[in-house]
Amino acid sequence: MNILILGYGKMGKVISQLAEERGHTIAAKIDESNVDELDTLDASEVDAAIEFSQPDAAVNNLTWAIKHNIPVVCGTTGWLEKKPEIERLTLSNGSAFFYASNYSIGVNVFFKVNSFLAKIMNEQPDYNVKMEEIHHTEKKDAPSGTAITLAEAIIDRVDRVKRWDLDSDVNGNEHALPITAKRIDPAPGTHIVTYQSAIDDIEIKHTAHSRKGFALGAVLVAEWIKDKKGVLSMDDYLTF
C-alpha cells in the first residue's frame, strides 16, 4: 500500500517506521512545514492516509483526504466539535473516515472494562467516580481523547453522572465526573478510573509503555480500511 502520513511529529514518525517495516510505501510525510505539497500530490496513487497532526490542522487534513477519496484514519484529538461536519462530508462524498481516540488494542480492551464496571457501579450510589490521565508535555489538548471516551461511557451508564469537568474536585459536584490531566515527560499515556467511597476504592488503570501500540493499531486499521466506505470506528474493526 501507498500510505500518506498527515502529521509528522513523534507519532507520525513511529507510524511511518512501522508502516515501512510492514512492507508499505510512504507516499508523502506532511506537516505544517510542507503542507503545500498536498497541492501537487497525486491522490490517485494513495491507498490510505493516516492523520495524527495537531487539533488546528486536523480538519483541513481530513477534508483534503475525504475530498480526494482517500480513506483516512484519524487519531488526532482536540478538534471533535467539528467531527459531525467531517462525517457529513464523508457520507456525501462516498469516502471513508475512521476515527478513534486511541488505536491501542489494550486501550480498547480497557474501554470495554470501563463500560462494564460503570454499568455495575450505577447500582452503587455510595461511590463517587473520578479520573486521572497523564501524558507527555507536548500533548496540546486536555483532557485526552482517550479520557473523554472513558468519561462518555461512564456518563452513559452511571445515571448520577451528568457530565465531566476538568480539574474539579471529586466531591465538588455529585453530578460531575472530575478529570485531572497531568503533563509529565516522557509519559506516553496513563489513564486511571477510580470509584471512591468511605469504605474502599475500586480502581482500573491502563499504562502505555511506548507509542508503538498506538502506531501499530493505526497502521493495521489503514490496511483494513483501504476498500471501505462510510464513517467507521473501532467497533467496526474489532470484535470482542
Question: Which one of the listed residues 130, 135, 191, 206 is annotated catalytic?
Answer: 135
Q: What are 57's three cell numbers?
A: 490542522
Structural domain boundaries of the chain?
A: 2-103+212-237, 105-207
Q: Which amino acid is at 125?
A: P
Residues 215 and 3 sit within 8 Å (Cβ to Cβ): no
The dotted CATH code for 105-207 is: 3.30.360.10
Angstrom distance (rounded) from CA 8 to CA 33: 10
162 catalytically annotated? no
Q: How much is the pLDDT for 77?
A: 87
Question: What are the cell numbers at 16?
Answer: 511511518
- pLDDT tens profile 35-46: 999 999 999 999
Does residue 206 have an active-site annotation? no
pLDDT (0 to 100) of residue 198: 97
Model's pTM, two decimal places?
Answer: 0.79
Res 160: pLDDT: 95
pLDDT of residue 139: 85
Closest to 101 in 3D by CA, of 152, 67, 57: 152
Which listed residue (24, 68, 139, 191) is catalytic?
139
pLDDT value for 30: 97
**Residue-wise pLDDT tens digits, 7-36:** 999 899 999 999 999 999 999 999 999 999
Looking at domain 2-103+212-237, which of 3.30.710.10, 3.40.50.1220, 3.10.580.10, 3.40.50.720 is its CATH number?
Answer: 3.40.50.720
pLDDT per position in the chain (240 positions), as tens? Answer: 999 999 999 899 999 999 999 999 999 999 999 999 999 999 999 999 999 999 999 999 999 999 999 999 999 988 999 999 999 999 999 999 999 988 998 999 999 999 999 999 999 999 999 999 999 998 878 999 899 999 999 999 999 999 999 976 655 566 899 999 999 998 889 999 999 999 999 999 999 998 888 899 999 999 999 989 999 999 899 875
- Report CA-CA distances (Å) from 30 to 11, 34, 150, 213: 13, 6, 30, 22
Are the CB atoms for 53 and 31 separated by under 8 Å?
yes
What whole-number distance in Å separates Cα of residue 181 and Cα of residue 200? 23
